């Protein structure tokens, strides 16, 4: 693409003051793959094997806090989040997770919001959970143009709200997941390092804290600009417990990956080398073949990752083999 074309696709201001970042880069597919025995019927053998260790774990309850930008540009993104409910809840339902889900907005000017939950907490016992989730995340688009996502999250998870408006959400025995959704950067009046330290203090070592940011939703002509945002930097500070979805509106893959990592974090394997997609790949868990989903490299797993469909609570060994034959 030449410079003239790039400039013509550059920043376009909407009526509400939003900056549109156009022409999103292509989103890598999440690849479905199945395993084979050590020697396939066509005589192809495994040429190389990488081994990984799974630690024993106990399935934890999960508390999920959505922090949603409610400024004037966000209606479509909220609707898309609600419409792809099943992509997020599929992993929760399949694994019979004990969950609680709440939402706040990025508006810290409206006294009725400022970290207060925008609706009732959703649990695994909530009837018609899809409808409840839709109502929860469609928070409107009349909020402050000064998006203070981190300040809202901190207010939601501290006193006095924890004992009043937001009572009954945060459990001592549950993992905590924060999911940020926005198309502008965080403008909270404190350093990113302060917020990171706050989050690390919310949970003990026995429970897991994870952070997901879905940012730059309309795509990016210059993704490096958005990658430098505080919203985009935050999940990278949490290693394998951070997930960054950058410059895409592919909610199906975003939400499926996010939920899968929340539920099966201990059964996601960061690879030692990228998968060669021209060759067949085979995975065993404790010696038994397992199906899996392969995800391309991202900020959390630079070499890519696989999410195992077989997740033994007792841990064990995962072996990933690459066939000597071409596909």
The 10s digit of each residue's pLDDT in 155-172 is 999 999 999 999 999 998
The residue with greater pLDDT, 8 or 120, is: 120
CATH code: domain of residue 167? 3.40.50.410
State the total domains in the chain.
Answer: 2
Strand duo 305-308 + 292-295: pairing: antiparallel
Give me the pLDDT at residue 43, please. 62
Q: Say if residue 308 is in the same domain as residue 238.
A: no
What are the tens digits of pLDDT across the range 242-254?
888 888 888 888 8
Write out the chain in H/E/C secondary structure: CCHHHHHHCCCEECCCCCEECCCCCCCCCCEEECCCCCECCCCCEEEEEEEEEECCCCCCCEEEEEEECCCCCCHHHHHHHHHCHHHHHHHHHHCCCCEEEEEEECCCCCCCCCCCCCCCCEECCCCCHHHHHHHHHCCCCCCCCCCCHHHHHHHHCCCCHHHCCCCCCCCCCCEEEEEEEECCCCCCCCCHHHHHHHHHHHCCCCCCEEEEEEECCCCCCCHHHHHCCHHHHHHHCCHHHEEEEECCCCHHHHHHHHHHHHHHHHHEEECCCCCCCCEEEEEEECCEECCEEEECCCCCCCCCEEEECCCCCCCEEEEEEEEEEEC
Distance CA 251, CA 259 (A): 12
The residue with greater pLDDT, 1 or 247, is: 247
Q: Say if residue 272 is in the same domain as residue 213.
A: no
Q: Say if residue 256 is in the same domain as residue 132.
A: yes
Q: Say if residue 192 is in the same domain as residue 229.
A: yes
Q: Say if residue 185 is in the same domain as residue 75.
A: yes
Q: Say if residue 111 is in the same domain as residue 184.
A: yes
Instruction: With respect to residue 14, please indicate whether it lies within any of the assigned structural domains.
Output: no
Of these ranges, 130-144, 238-252, 275-289, the one predicted with the greatest mean pLDDT is: 130-144
Q: Say if residue 233 is in the same domain as residue 125.
A: yes
Give me the pLDDT at residue 33, please. 38
Closest CA to 74 of 215, 195, 212: 215
Q: For residue 87, is pLDDT > 80?
A: yes
Band (pLDDT 50/70/90 cuts) for residue 31 is very low
Tally Cβ neighbours within 10 Å of residue 254: 24
Q: For residue 3, is pLDDT > 80?
A: no
Peptide bond preceding 160 in cis form (omega within 30 of 0): yes
Give me the pLDDT at residue 164, please. 95
Q: Say if residue 134 is in the same domain as residue 273.
A: no
Of 239, 266, 293, the last residue of a domain is 266
The residue with greater pLDDT, 306 or 260, is: 306
What are the tens digits of pLDDT across the range 120-129?
999 999 999 9
The mean pLDDT of 269-298, rounded to a whole number, is 84
Q: For residue 102, is pLDDT > 70?
A: yes
The residue with greater pLDDT, 102 or 270, is: 102
Of 235, 266, 297, the last residue of a domain is 266
Distance CA 55, CA 66 (A): 29
Q: Say if residue 262 is in the same domain as residue 133.
A: yes
Give me the pLDDT at residue 206, please. 67
Q: Say if residue 224 is in the same domain as residue 100.
A: yes
Give me the pLDDT at residue 42, please. 55
Q: Say if residue 166 is in the same domain as residue 84.
A: yes
Instruction: With respect to residue 292, please indicate whether it lies within any of the assigned structural domains.
Output: yes
Instruction: With respect to residue 7, please indicate whether it lies within any of the assigned structural domains.
Output: no
Q: Say if residue 101 is in the same domain as residue 174.
A: yes
The residue with greater pLDDT, 242 or 32, is: 242
Instruction: With respect to residue 17, please indicate whether it lies within any of the assigned structural domains.
Output: no
Whole domain around residue 151: which residue ranges? 62-266
Share of the chain above pLDDT 90, in %: 39
Q: For residue 227, is pLDDT > 80?
A: yes
pTM score of the predicted model: 0.75
């Amino acid at each position: 693409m030449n410079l003239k074309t790039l400039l013509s696709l550059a920043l376009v201001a909407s009526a509400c003051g939003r900056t549109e970042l156009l022409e999103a880069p292509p989103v890598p597919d999440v690849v479905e793959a199945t395993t084979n025995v050590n020697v396939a019927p066509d005589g192809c053998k495994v040429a190389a094997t990488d081994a990984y260790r799974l630690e024993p774990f106990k399935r934890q309850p999960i508390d999920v806090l959505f922090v949603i930008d409610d400024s004037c540009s966000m209606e479509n993104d909220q609707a898309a989040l609600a419409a792809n409910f099943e992509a997020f809840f599929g992993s929760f339902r399949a694994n019979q997770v004990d969950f609680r889900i709440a939402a706040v907005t990025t508006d810290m000017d409206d006294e009725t919001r400022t970290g207060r939950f925008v609706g009732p907490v959703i649990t695994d016992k909530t009837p018609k959970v899809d409808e409840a989730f839709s109502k929860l995340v469609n928070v409107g688009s009349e909020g402050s143009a000064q998006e203070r996502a981190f300040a809202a999250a901190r207010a939601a998870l501290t006193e006095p709200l924890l004992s009043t408006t937001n009572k009954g959400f945060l459990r001592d025995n549950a993992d905590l997941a924060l999911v940020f959704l926005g198309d502008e950067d965080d403008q909270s009046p404190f350093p990113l390092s302060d917020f990171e330290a706050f989050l690390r203090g919310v949970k003990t070592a026995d429970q897991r804290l994870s952070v997901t940011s879905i940012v730059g939703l309309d795509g990016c002509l210059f993704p490096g600009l958005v990658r430098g945002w505080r919203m985009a930097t935050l999940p990278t500070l949490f290693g394998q417990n951070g997930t960054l979805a950058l410059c895409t509106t592919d909610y199906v893959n975003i939400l499926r990956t996010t939920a899968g990592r929340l539920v099966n974090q201990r059964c996601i394997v960061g690879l030692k080398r990228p998968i060669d997609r021209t060759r067949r790949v085979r995975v065993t868990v404790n010696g038994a073949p397992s199906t899996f989903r392969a995800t391309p490299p991202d900020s959390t797993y630079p070499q890519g990752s696989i999410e195992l469909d077989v997740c033994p609570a007792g841990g064990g060994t995962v072996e990933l083999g690459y066939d000597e034959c071409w596909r």
